[in-house]
Chains A and B, each alone.
Chain A
């Protein structure tokens, strides 16, 4: 019953737009969306190049990207901390315990997700697609954009998967953000703090927000996959892994 009461209180605080809660939500969304905006073009380009271009070391690079999918986020945070600390090589940037550091961490964490999923999507695309574009006179760049357009639903899934990975990660955010109220305290770090203080209402409220975000992301993913299966390259929606 206590849990029900806490949940009711949590919902109430969300509905009445509790400033403390919504500030934390705002930091989370701002940091993750900026990280996503930065990482998406780089990772999509990287995934496309890995799929379409043959060069020495390509297989090793693909193996590295796929290995980084399971890389612990707290280790990313640790490495970034060492780089950004006062004695570190990037200490002069003074990014430690700022949103910029959190964004950098989330870019690093999201990159292998978006890149690997893009690689799989492009490899699953119909091999006639690129040839057809080139035969009709498209330049290599236009043909590349045409291909990416054809697998757009799978790309949406790739980007949303990257978003899902970073919006809820806590390890890196704690290490390089420092969980400073009003500045670097995001949803996962706030949940960790509030719960450790026994402030379960805040923890539950933020947990509900994270669950809603996860539900919305997954709903869009399902819609994107469904739309992708209706398109002329159905394999792009289903194949989410590099097949070698």
Chain B
């Protein structure tokens, strides 16, 4: 059994770091929480809504975003990547343009806004993925090892963006090994072992 009766509570704007050994199930937990992986047994409830329920899936996904360790960027420009989720949700063109510009400024992507993904560094790709989630105004963002493959400067930029998310009342749950993240100021620490989550004081 990979996960057993896991339950996590997050307050608005709270940062929570989930640590655990390789293979302990951190990625599985995040994927189950956002509905990308179905649990073999039981159900995942987010804010009283069942994540696996097709009827509320869109509602859950509008409140919850997931940024994997190696995010996939569509083979178009950064601007189009940021616009994708807004377009998918039927946001009007004028508002889409405004929110996309805000995301570009927020994540400091001005220099690469018209670049395709293959021209971006790992740090830039991660910032695009975070901005792509941010632009949808989620209540919770799940991060899977957001800094594990980044250099020092990129790590600091990503951690700064995550801190800004929390400052804007977005709760974040971060699966991480990175000491800088684990010791992020004000972050609650959880540890996943033997399929169970426990608080770390």
Contacts and interface: CB of A to CB of B under 8 A. Distances in A.
B74 A150 contact: yes
13 contacts: A126-B72, A131-B36, A132-B71, A133-B84, A135-B34, A135-B36, A135-B61, A135-B66, A136-B84, A137-B58, A137-B61, A146-B74, A232-B73
Most A Cβ at <10 Å: residue of B75, B116, B132: B75
Nearest to B72: A128
A134 B62 CA distance: 11
Contacts of B118: 230-232
Nearest to B73: A232
A52 to B, nearest CB: 15
B85 A137 contact: yes
A233 B75 contact: yes
Nearest to B57: A134
Interface of B: 34, 36, 58, 61-62, 65-66, 68, 70-75, 84-85, 88-89, 116-118, 132, 136
Nearest to B142: A135
Given A129-B72, A136-B61, A233-B75, 11 more contacts: A128-B71, A135-B34, A135-B36, A136-B85, A136-B136, A139-B88, A231-B118, A232-B72, A232-B73, A232-B74, A232-B116
A138 B58 CA distance: 9
Given A142-B88, A232-B118, A135 B65 contact: yes
Given A230-B118, A232-B117, A138 B88 contact: yes
Contacts of A135: 34, 36, 61, 65-66
Given A134-B61, A135-B61, A232 B75 contact: yes
A121 to B, nearest CB: 14
Contacts of B84: 133, 136, 138, 146
Q: What is the interface of chain A mostly: helix, strand, loop, or mixed?
A: helix
B88 A136 contact: yes
Interface in A141-187: 142, 146, 150
A233 B118 CA distance: 10
Contacts of A137: 58, 61-62, 85, 88-89, 136
A131 B68 CA distance: 11
Most B Cβ at <10 Å: residue of A126, A129, A135: A135
A136 B132 contact: yes
Interface string A111-141: 0000000000000001011011111111100
Contacts of A134: 61
A214 B73 CA distance: 35
A31 B66 CA distance: 49
Contacts of B117: 232
A126 B72 CA distance: 8
Contacts of B36: 131, 135
A22 B34 CA distance: 60
B75 A150 contact: yes
Most B Cβ at <10 Å: residue of A126, A134, A137, A138: A137
Contacts of A233: 75
A150 B85 CA distance: 16
Interface in A80-127: 126
Nearest to B54: A140
Contacts of A232: 72-75, 116-118
Contact of B75 (A131, A139, A231): A231
